[in-house]
């Protein structure tokens, strides 16, 4: 297959399916070729790609609905020359979201009870490909979907690989942040926009857990303000892990914005240099980052890392 030239851009709302913070540069994520009505439309949830291995996550929109459990592959092209060169093909695995029941998103309360949201959702999961980029600069991606009836559809986009990551990477020390916890505020809603707030996620100072050698799952999310279609019930996913792992792992939720609205980032978000949300980091007892997940993730992905870390 011949692919020529660099993909032209469209408005970023068609590209990113996560919340980009105001000081971010959205063009770092990716640009799509112009969209044709009825064509396949990727919704990218990964805004930061770097030289080396990356978790590249996305949804697929077709005729107004998100596709689930398709046979999907990611083709990677070097687009520095006029004629692009295919350099790799990798499968994109569909990870179903565990908190879906009969088409409705399940909300997990702090006491462990659950209820289904009144409105239905078509966000039932996310596609994830392990994408390795060997140099900084532009790359071309082609997402290829093979339907059960044999039909094949594709969508193309360009992405940019950073020479150095902005946010903390696996294998590097986690910032020794002194985030606010429940004991620091008079009202938990000052540090948790969930409804209702979950005190279990606001008991641990990140720096103290690292000092004490306690592993952590740290979630940067703002449930009240993130409105993207696949922003995802990330906090609900993390809450499902607390009964099984809460005695061995500290679970921490960090809001993105300081109280009063979307005006000022919290010091911890600034310290971790995050340009989008949500993010989830798994930190081991030595204070080293074991994994990071941008955007929607699933219990299956998080639990695989936790089991490996706690062996």
Q: What is the DSSP string of 132-176?
A: EE-SSEEEEEEEEEE-TTS-EEEEEEEEEEESS-SS--TTSBPP-
Tokens (6 digits) for 292: 């990071």
105-126 per-residue burial string, b: 16 or more CB within 10 A, e: under 16: bbbbebeeeeeeeeeebebbbb
| Averaged pLDDT for residues 285-294 | 97
pLDDT band at 146 (very low <50, low <70, confident <90, very high): very high
**Confidence band (pLDDT; 50, 70, 90) for 61?**
confident
* Mean pLDDT on 42-52: 94
pTM of the full predicted structure? Answer: 0.84
Q: Mean pLDDT over residues 21-45, rounded?
A: 58
Q: Tokens standing for 52? A: 């080396």
Torsion of CA 88, 91, 97, 100, to 10 degrees: 130
SS3 (DSSP) at 281: strand
- pLDDT value at position 149? 84
Mind listing the pLDDT tens digit for each residue in 231-270? 558 898 999 999 999 999 999 999 999 987 788 999 999 9
* Banded model confidence at residue 11, pLDDT cuts 50, 70, 90: very low
| DSSP 3-state percent helix, strand, coil across the chain (nearest 5) | 15, 40, 45
Return the structure tokens found at 51: 């030289």
Peptide linkage before 32 cis (omega within 30 of 0): no
What integer is the mean pLDDT of 104-109? Answer: 50
**182-310 is a CATH 2.10.10.90 domain:** no
The reply to whether CATH 2.60.40.10 applies to domain 12-162 is yes
DSSP string, 290-310: EEEEES---HHHHHHHHHHHH
Q: Is the pLDDT of residue 15 over 50?
A: no
Do strands 250-254 and 216-220 pair parallel, antiparallel, or not at all (unpaired)? Answer: parallel
Evaluate if residue 277 carries a pLDDT over 70: yes
**Separation CA 235–CA 202 (nearest Å):** 13
Residue 82: alpha-carbon gap to chain centroid: 32
Q: Per-residue confidence at 110, pLDDT binned at 50, 70, 90?
A: low
The band of 227, judged by pLDDT with boundaries at 50, 70 and 90, is low
The CATH 3.40.30.10 domain(s) of the chain lie at 182-310
> How large is the average pLDDT for residues 202-229?
91
Which range is most confident: 12-16, 132-136, 192-196, 261-265?
Answer: 132-136
What are 248's two structure tokens?
Answer: 């061995």
**Which residues lie closer than 8 Å to 298 by C-beta, 6 or more apart?**
95, 96, 97, 98, 125, 126, 237
Q: Taking Cα atoms as reference points, which of 8, 124, 151 lies closest to residue 61?
A: 124
Alpha carbon distance 134, 113 (integer Å): 46
Mean pLDDT, the chain, whole residue set: 84
């Amino acid at each position: 297959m011949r692919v020529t030239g660099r993909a032209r851009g469209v408005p970023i709302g068609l590209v990113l399916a996560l919340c980009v913070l105001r000081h971010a540069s959205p063009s770092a994520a990716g640009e799509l070729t112009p969209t044709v009505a009825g064509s396949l439309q990727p919704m990218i949830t990964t805004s930061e790609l770097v030289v080396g291995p990356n978790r590249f996550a996305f949804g697929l929109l077709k005729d107004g609905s998100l596709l689930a459990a398709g046979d999907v592959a990611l083709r990677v092209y070097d687009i520095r020359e006029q004629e692009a060169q295919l350099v790799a093909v990798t499968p994109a695995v569909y990870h179903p979201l565990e908190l879906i029941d009969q088409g409705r998103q399940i909300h997990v309360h702090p006491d462990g009870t659950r209820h289904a949201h009144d409105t239905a959702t078509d966000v039932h999961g996310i596609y994830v490909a392990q994408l390795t980029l060997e140099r900084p600069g532009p790359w071309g991606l082609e997402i290829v979907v093979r339907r059960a009836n044999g039909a094949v559809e594709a969508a193309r986009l360009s992405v940019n690989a950073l020479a150095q990551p902005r946010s903390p990477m696996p294998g590097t020390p986690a910032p020794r942040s002194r985030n606010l916890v429940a004991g620091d505020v008079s009202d938990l809603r000052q540090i948790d926009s969930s409804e209702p707030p979950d005190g279990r996620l606001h008991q641990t100072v990140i720096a103290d857990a690292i000092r004490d050698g306690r592993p952590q799952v740290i979630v940067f999310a703002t449930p009240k303000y993130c409105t993207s279609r696949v922003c995802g019930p990330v906090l609900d996913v993390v809450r499902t892990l607390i009964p099984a792992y809460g005695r061995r792992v500290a679970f921490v939720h960090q809001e993105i914005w300081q109280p009063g609205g979307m005006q000022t980032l919290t010091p911890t978000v600034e310290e971790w240099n995050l340009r989008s949300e949500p993010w989830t980091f798994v930190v081991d007892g030595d204070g080293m980052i074991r994994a990071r997940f941008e955007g929607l993730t699933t219990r299956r992905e998080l639990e695989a890392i936790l089991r490996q870390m706690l062996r």
